[in-house]
Amino acid sequence: MAMNGDGVHGLDRETVAPSEAKHTNGTPSKSKIACENGEADIHAAKQNGTKRRTPTDTFSFTAEPTIEDIRRMQAEFTDERDWNQFHQPRNLLLAMVGEVGEVSELFQWRGEVTEGLPGWTDSEREHLAHELSDVLIYLVELAEKCHIDLPQAVLCKMALNRLKYPASKVHGSSKKYTEYKD
């Protein structure tokens, strides 16, 4: 039986970056504070997110289904087929990686592809939409089966990314954070 929302525990944020979770004096670490501020970040992103791009660059998603909606729909799909018995974390991981391979196949041998995929046919776009959806569906179910609250984990990880890559420091550079000297 697939888990309902009650069975999915929230992410223990201290497991996201265990080595950084607390300073030795017991005060919360920067990363823990960053994770806790994630909720505020989402509102700021909603207000500022599209301002930095020109109108021709903007593309946005519809609001639904949410990640939780996707988790629930996939749980119903597997329950109806008695497939939960096959959907352990490792199998889901392998299935997801297989679907990532199918996405890669669509880009294979095309050379660089620019944003918006100019030149792709409707059928190629539809195929890509299907394969990307397969990846997302398996990713969401994998997170569920690992008891990772994916939306909260994403908020937390983005907050950590902002700490690791301050815009003022890395603007316009694609260097890995380990390449910065200070």
Ligand X SMILES: Nc1ccn([C@H]2C[C@H](O)[C@@H](COP(=O)(O)OP(=O)(O)OP(=O)(O)O)O2)c(=O)n1
Which residues of this chain interact with ligand X, rule CB under 6 A?
78, 83, 86, 102, 134, 137
| Three-state secondary structure call for residue 85 | helix
Closest to ligand X by CB, 137 vs 143, is: 137
CB of 98 to ligand X, least distance (A): 8
CB of 121 to ligand X, least distance (A): 17
What is the rounded distance in angstroms from the CA atom of residue 141 to the CA atom of residue 149? 11
| Tokens read off for 154 | 């994403």
CB of 102 to ligand X, least distance (A): 6
Task: Answer positive or negative: Cα dihedral of 68, 70, 73, 79.
Answer: negative
Closest to ligand X by CB, 135 vs 153, is: 135
**Residue number of the CB atom closest to ligand X:** 134
- The residues, any chain, with a CB within 8 Å of residue 96's CB and separated by 6 or more, are 135, 138, 139, 142
Closest to ligand X by CB, 14 vs 134, is: 134
Closest to ligand X by CB, 43 vs 90, is: 90
CA angle 104, 116, 43 (to 5 degrees): 100
Closest to ligand X by CB, 37 vs 78, is: 78
Residue with tokens 């990846």: 135
CB of 92 to ligand X, least distance (A): 8
Closest to ligand X by CB, 13 vs 145, is: 145
**69, 55 in Cβ contact below 8 A?**
no
- Greatest Cα pair distance, the chain, in angstroms, is 59
CB of 8 to ligand X, least distance (A): 18
CB of 137 to ligand X, least distance (A): 4
- The residues, any chain, with a CB within 8 Å of residue 112's CB and separated by 6 or more, are none
What is the rounded distance in angstroms from the CA atom of residue 19 to the CA atom of residue 95? 31
